[in-house]
Structure 1
Amino acid sequence: MTKKEKPFWETKTLKEMSKDEWESLCDGCAKCCLHKLEDEDTGEVFYTEMVCRYLDRENCNCTEYKRRQELVPHCVWLTPDDVEEFHWLPSTCAYRLVHEGKPLPKWHHLRSGSRQTIHKYNHSMRKKGIPDDKIPEEEWEDHIIWIE
């Protein structure tokens, strides 16, 4: 890529991206695997430290990726058609950033060249969170956290 040539995420909308381009935006932070609570009155979304039981917290990967919708019916499955609903994604999520016309952070692998940079800068769920089968759901409100 020449200096004048911009990367695809700066020139295409999410709907214009190829499947490979779309998939490459995911930084592997696993913040979408955190359980969220929504205030029914305000619509405000609160993140909890509860993570899906199928999240490998060492690698930030789903251990049941192909069966995730079957095992967890409300599991997040982002598509370009959902961009208007991305307000609940973390402010650092590439899908949300691109939709909002904002730049990707320096630690994003498409900028840094390494998928480990996100972990180095502590922007992932690596070694964090409590599996959702360890604490009853009615207690999750006690585990609300702030997410960037």
Structure 2
Amino acid sequence: MQDASFWKQKQLNEMSTQEWESLCDGCGKCCVLKLEDIDTGDVYYTDVGCKLLNCETCACKDYGNRKQIVPDCVILTPDNLADLKWMPKTCAYRLVHEHQDLPAWHPLVSGDKNSTRTSGNAVAGRIFTEKDVPESELPNHITEW
């Protein structure tokens, strides 16, 4: 059983595996393909999900083996979080790292595992899979989440 509001009481590197994993709100935003402007460093999100992202549920189809299947998949850790400036501004890991509270729609706050999606904060049902979108078409899929 998790302590209530553990994210307010612990540093990210002090969390148990269960606590760490429960911080993920399941929005899927970190798993959409992103484009970076090499001149400015600006990162643009697309509405195209990684080939392992289930476009309807935002769940990874093979979470345990994701790095082996998608070599450029970034495994989030307390040690690399500060370097990942492209993480969504609503990401719980980012928010906790920046000493901010979780939004009311986060499942740990709302008590509803579907609250990310029902609040409109998930990409579920609003993305394409990368298998169906040629790389040359990605600029046409830039979107704001």
Scaled by the length of structure 1, the TM-score of the pair is 0.90
Aligned to 1:62: 60
Distance 2:21 2:77 in 1: 10
Scaled by the length of structure 2, the TM-score of the pair is 0.91
Distance 1:16 1:96 in 2: 15
Contact 2:55 / 2:128 at 8 angstroms: preserved in 1?
no
Check if 1:9 corresponds to 2:13: no
Aligned to 1:21: 19
Question: Which stretch has the larger CA shift, 68-77 or 105-114?
Answer: 68-77
Aligned to 2:142: 144
Pair 1:130–1:6, CA change in 2 (3 A): closer
CA displacement, residues 97-140 of structure 1 (integer Å, 9 cap, x when unaligned): 00111110001011001111111101111111111011211220
- Report the Cα offset of residue 43 of structure 1: 1.6
Gaps of 5+ in 2: none
Check if 1:132 corresponds to 2:130: yes
Aligned to 2:38: 40
Aligned to 1:97: 95
Distance 1:50 1:58 in 2: 12
Aligned to 1:30: 28
Contact 1:107 / 1:121 at 8 angstroms: preserved in 2?
yes
- Partner of residue 84 from structure 2, selected from 78, 86, 90: 86
| Count of aligned positions | 143
- Report the Cα offset of residue 32 of structure 1: 1.1
- Report the Cα offset of residue 29 of structure 1: 0.8
How many percent identity over aligned positions? 47
Distance 1:77 1:26 in 2: 13
Pair 1:97–1:133, CA change in 2 (3 A): same
- Report the Cα offset of residue 39 of structure 1: 1.4
Contact 1:87 / 1:96 at 8 angstroms: preserved in 2?
no
Distance 1:41 1:13 in 2: 35
Contact 1:32 / 1:76 at 8 angstroms: preserved in 2?
no
